[in-house]
Chain A
Amino acid sequence: MQDETIVQVEHLRKVYGPVVAVDDVSFEVRKGEIFGMVGPNGAGKTTTIECIEGLREPDRGRVEVLGLDPQRDEYALSERIGVQLQESALHDRIKVWEALDLFAAFYSRSIDWGPLLEQLGLAEKRGALFGKLSGDQKQGLFIALSLVNDPELVFLDELTTGLDPRARHAMWDLVRGIRDRGKTVFLTTHFMEEAERLRDRVAIMDDGNIVALDSPENLIRSLGAETRVVFTVEESFEREWLTGLTGVERVERIGERVVAYGRGSELVGSVVSGLTSNGVDFHDLRTEQPNLEDVFLALTGREMET
């Protein structure tokens, strides 16, 4: 990955009346990465992204995108970025191909959108009216529209909200595809899992501020949280010896359920081989890794509401 900065935000602040949407936010996005901004609804993600896109004027702070000022160079910038808005629509009676042709005509440079539609699984919906598309298909069309000018930087705001899990996974593949074609992706989401899967780097936002910014791995590691190995056993099972295994720090038992807590990569292996070599009849073994939800909880003291 290159370290060239493509978006630079310094001390961004935006207030709506008495509500501080974005308090004081600074960060940068590097060329070629997927930058995720994650946090609960109302954390200020959309306001931040819209200030960067040039759709909103910041009250304070400096924003630079592709070397341009989004307020002063609004039109020059919009040629070079792709935007998918959280709330947006097209005319209900416009056809898919008409919308794509129309948007392609807005830009001085545009790509052949046929393959794009193919990739989004919308090829057979070319002639369909926008109003007749399902939520997933509309979202797909908005993605296509955001890519029609072959942008250097793509903004995806709440990309998968309202999509079913399968469509969500397909969308994730697509976003990785966008990055793999050399573009930079800036996305916001309130799904921690999405941020964890997609991200190169994640900014966790809460209450108008960024509370953490790093790769998900580093964020989770910095938490120092334990991995859990959970399994069920017979009533007669004695748990004490488990504590002696490599990597296991402590063991809890609730009825038939046993939870071994520990750190490091040996934990799972040593628990499983310990159980097997002792001839224990165990079921439903699974591991629970700490995830970004735990990071959010640790940083804010609150659960992420989803």
Chain B
Amino acid sequence: MREPIAFFFTLVFPLMMLFLFGSMYGNEPSDLLGGLGSVDVSVPAYTAMIIGTTGLVSLTISMASYREKGILRRLRATPLRPRAILIAEVLVLLLITVVGVALLIIAAKVVYGLRFGGNAFSVLTAVILSTLSFFALGLVLAGLVPTARTGQVVAMVLFYPMLFLSGASLPWELLPEGVKRFARFLPMPHVVSLLRGLWIGEAWSEHLVNVGVLAATLVVGVVVSVITFRWE
């Protein structure tokens, strides 16, 4: 881990959120939450938050700063292919994402007796799909921003509203209808909705819109980022 801040927001911060709200609300089943506890509905949401952090923030900033500092320039002078650089970066961040999610789930399970009604393989697949989709967004941003500093600002400007308008931090159900209608155009609510659904054992077929939006984001993002990729 060469970036202590990314390390914190991916691995530590979600746990802090978990323990903070866990200690406030516990994880007693509640009719308001359809018989689930507060932690049970929060964990998929925090997972979405981790994905947003690695995909949108970490990837954007690291690629933009590699370019700004001339690291990409130096790599270009080696036999290394550009796609190898991108794939390496994506794999590393994907691994970090999965580790972050795993830590979160383990902590929630051990401390709060997290309930899980879904299929682990399904949820993992959804996590990876969501992550790749956000990576594609991050790569597009990285190709567009001139410097790492701008990248940071742009990523934050996109990330925070998504965080609040997706159900990842504030409960989706509490958002006004107009805000929800707007928020459906953002990818993050689809991550939260998909993960929450699969978490309690809903079928993929109930979330085709979510999957469609994320897959489309992934494809468009990859195409655009390949076109806009710059070495310097």
Contacts and interface: CB of A to CB of B under 8 A. Distances in A.
A85 interface: yes
B2 A91 contact: yes
A79 B79 contact: yes
Contact size class for A? Answer: 20 to 34
The winner among B2, B71, B75, B79 for most chain A CB atoms within 10 A is: B79
B205 interface: no
Interface of B: 2-3, 66, 69-71, 73-81
30 contacts: A53-B77, A55-B77, A75-B79, A75-B81, A78-B78, A78-B79, A83-B74, A83-B77, A83-B78, A85-B70, A85-B73, A85-B74, A85-B77, A87-B70, A88-B70, A88-B71, A88-B73, A89-B69, A89-B70, A89-B71, A90-B74, A93-B2, A93-B3, A94-B2, A106-B75, A106-B78, A106-B79, A107-B78, A107-B79, A145-B74
Top 6 A-B residue pairs of the complex, sorted by shortest distance between their CB atoms: A93-B2, A89-B69, A83-B77, A88-B70, A106-B78, A88-B74
A106 to B, nearest CB: 4
Given A91-B2, A93-B2, A94-B2, A108 B70 contact: no
A79 B77 CA distance: 9
Given A78-B79, A106-B80, A107-B79, 12 more contacts: A55-B77, A83-B78, A85-B74, A85-B77, A87-B70, A89-B69, A90-B74, A91-B66, A92-B2, A93-B3, A106-B75, A106-B79
B182 to A, nearest CB: 38
A78 B71 contact: no
Contacts of B79: 75, 78-79, 106-108
Interface in A59-112: 75, 78-79, 83, 85, 87-94, 103, 106-108
Interface string A16-60: 000000000000000000000000000000000000010100000
